[in-house]
Amino acid sequence: MPLDMGAWSTAVPDWEDRIREGRSLIPDLPLFEPSAEKALRIFDRLRVPDLPGTPLRKDISPFWVREYIATIFGCYDPETRRRMIQEFFLMIPKKNTKSDLAATIILIAAIMNDRPKAELVLIAPSHNVAEIAFEQIAGMIALDRDLGGPDGLGKEGGVFLVQTHLKKITHRTTKATIEIESADGDIVTGSKAAYVLVDETHELAAKAKAGKVLLELRGGLASRPEGFFLQITTQSKIEPQGQFKKELQEARAVRDGTVQSPMLAVIYEYPPSMQKDESWKNEENWGLVNPNLNVSVDLAYLRKEFAKAQRAGLEDVALFASQHLNVEVGLGLHSERWVAADYWTDCGEADLTLDELIRRCDVAVVGGDIGGADDLLGFAVLGREKDTRHWLHWSRAWCTNDALDRRKEIAPKLLDLAEIGDLIIEDNIDLHVTGVADICDRLLDAGLLPAEGAIGLDPYGTAALLDELAQRGYPDQMFYAVGQGFKLNGAIKTIERRTYQRTLRHGKQPLMTWCMGNAKAEARGNNIMITKAKAGTAKIDPLVALFNAAILMDMNPEAARPSEPRIRFA
């Protein structure tokens, strides 16, 4: 049963209208006014240590910041000592006082906290940002004699003792401590923390064990109902994946009202229609997702950076859009991307499963790209539709857990793909080839495989699969050794043309969307090369499997007639 939050529901189903009209993204909530007002009084008296003249925050902060502070602390009931909303998710572009706001929230929480020896933890994305966050908090304390005493460090009085050498700040009365940790290191602290703030979640969530880390950081809320877990982040620089993808999906679901949870999700992003039609490129729309435009975000700076990105190419435009406009990166937009990636999305059909491919086609071929024990095995089925003669594509991949350990930078993505079924993680590599063979059997039983040239493989590293299929009775003529490197040029150009014409259809599988984004093209004479080495650590094995299958389909195959002895079963 969904959680009934009643008056404390944080759903904002009309968020698209609010974004377009510049209205608040925070719903009306029955805040506890004494708590909200106390937090704002503290906020108003704090000074900004890194701005000329160290102005008071009340004099320079836009309305949305004050509203956000009031909401975080105004949902705390001082009588029951319970916070009605314990989780907060804020996604906002760079330069909108994101890190400064994080430091300020942690300091206010330390001042308002009354739990003895409470732990307050701020997780910064890097050692450098952790240093800056500490200096920001220490600077606010030093500029307030009540907080930092005459010396600004609390050694001669004041609410806080600042130990710069330990990067530790202690409340003299409650003995509560503020600690700044870096996502660069191994974060294990958090199970006892009453207040946790993660700055740049997408940086921490890129780690292979991010799920366990965030679970640990949330642990303190179980026995500390007055605490909170707060995430402040920009959009990911790459396609959201792993734990960050899960956190973002959950936040969007709460915002949209499809999931009820004691979380407040404030997400400054364009409605999907504006992202799709690229109206975010119009600078008149930049203020919709930059609430601090012309305050801490300089329009002239954004204009200059966008122009520079456009000159550099699509990769830089995508980076600018993700960091300054919170536009989600989809297919890889690197400068050497393969042209077919531009057309791939429009060729998708969500219901095009392997079963559907078998139903709609009169012939099918398969392609495989078999890597080492720590690599991916890529597999593709390519069918020809009966009436239209369109090519229909379906893919799958296999790997071992060793691949995740050796390729930590892509491990979160691989786990995502495994969760949806596009990738099978299995340490027994014999089961990889039996999985491929089982799919070949399905196509064979459906009468779709040609008698010759049905299975296209790289000539090297395929012995295990050939042995498995031979044991099942597949004759030699069904196998075809596909030359690699420049010999795939015909398949590459064919797929470019078919994606442009929308005559290659696929099932919108995230596995292939990822591989298409990873593919980097290199011109060599009249040929286009797309190789593993060129793609680097990101994987393209299932795409190479598609190339191998395309070589066979280009030969205009016909399925073996029922009267032909296609297979000599042992």
Taking 50 as the threshold, does the pLDDT of residue 565 lie above it? no
Mean pLDDT of 514-542: 66
Question: Percent of the chain scored above 70 by pLDDT?
Answer: 91
3-state class (DSSP) for residue 299: helix
Q: What was the pLDDT predicted at 52?
A: 92
Measuring CA to CA, how many Å separate 443 from each of 20, 349, 366, 481?
Answer: 50, 21, 9, 20
Q: Which two tokens stand for residue 95?
A: 């330069």
In the chain the domains, ranked by start, together with CATH numbers, are 6-269 (3.40.50.300), 274-318 (no CATH), 341-553 (3.30.420.240)
- Tokens encoding 39: 């937090």
Report how far residue 445's alpha carbon sits from residue 334's, in angstroms, rounded to the nearest whole number.
42
Mean pLDDT, the chain, whole residue set: 88
How far is 483 from 355, CA to CA, in rounded Å? 30
Top pLDDT among 489 and 159 is at 159
* Rounded Cα gap, residues 62 and 293, in angstroms: 10
More confident residue, 482 or 374: 482
Contacts of residue 350, defined as CB under 8 A and 6 or more positions apart, other chains included, come to 507, 508
Average pLDDT over residues 339-359: 91
State which amino acid sits at residue 365.
V
Is the pLDDT at 184 greater than 70? The verdict is no
- pLDDT for position 187: 55
Strands (E), 321-422: 361-370, 377-385, 391-399
* pLDDT over threshold 90, residue 332: no
Find, among 556, 558, 536, 552, the residue nearest to 491 by Cα: 552
End-to-end alpha carbon distance in the chain: 55
Taking only the tens place, the pLDDT of each residue in 385-427 is 999 999 999 999 999 998 888 887 788 889 999 999 999 999 9
pTM (global) more than 0.85 = no
Local confidence band at 195 (pLDDT 50, 70, 90 cut-offs): very high
* Contact present, 103 and 135 (Cβ < 8 Å): no
Is the confidence at residue 331, as pLDDT, over 60? no
Whole-number Å distance between alpha carbons of 206 and 547: 30
197-206, 215-224, 269-278, 561-570: lowest mean pLDDT where? 561-570
